[in-house]
Amino acid sequence: MDIDLKCALAFNRALLKGLAATSAQARHALDAALDEEMRVIAFDDAVTAAAVHRIVGEARAELGAVTGFRDRLARDIEQAIIDCAADLGRDQGPAEHEGRQLRSCA
């Protein structure tokens, strides 16, 4: 049972992180849903509620950290656009840019 529980939690974490990475609206909806669940759990005994609040609080903090990748990716894309625009004045063909990878995706 311990393995089943750990697998279920791992899949749930991965799913939440994936959904949170899709958009700010998805992150907001996930955060609101977790907040609602925490309010429901608050009616349980104090020990259980405190443990759940700690775990869910950590998950909410991780979901907030997902935006870091999106910010890095946006900066990398912006830099790639600037680099390509700077190369337009030179006599370089499309082959010059093939194989370039964004740092965030490497």
Same domain, 27 and 74: no
The number of domains in the chain is 2
Same domain, 104 and 54: no
Say what the pTM is: 0.52
Q: What is the pLDDT of residues 3-38, one digit of tens each?
A: 888 888 888 888 888 887 777 788 888 888 888 888
How far is the C-alpha of 63 from the C-alpha of 45, rounded, in Å?
A: 27
Per-residue pLDDT averaged across 55-80, rounded?
76
Same domain, 25 and 42: yes
Same domain, 61 and 71: no
Same domain, 75 and 102: yes
Same domain, 72 and 40: no
Which of 60, 56, 70, 68 lies closest to 22, judged by CA? 70
Radius of gyration of the chain (CA): 21
Range of the domain at 18: 1-65
Same domain, 82 and 56: no
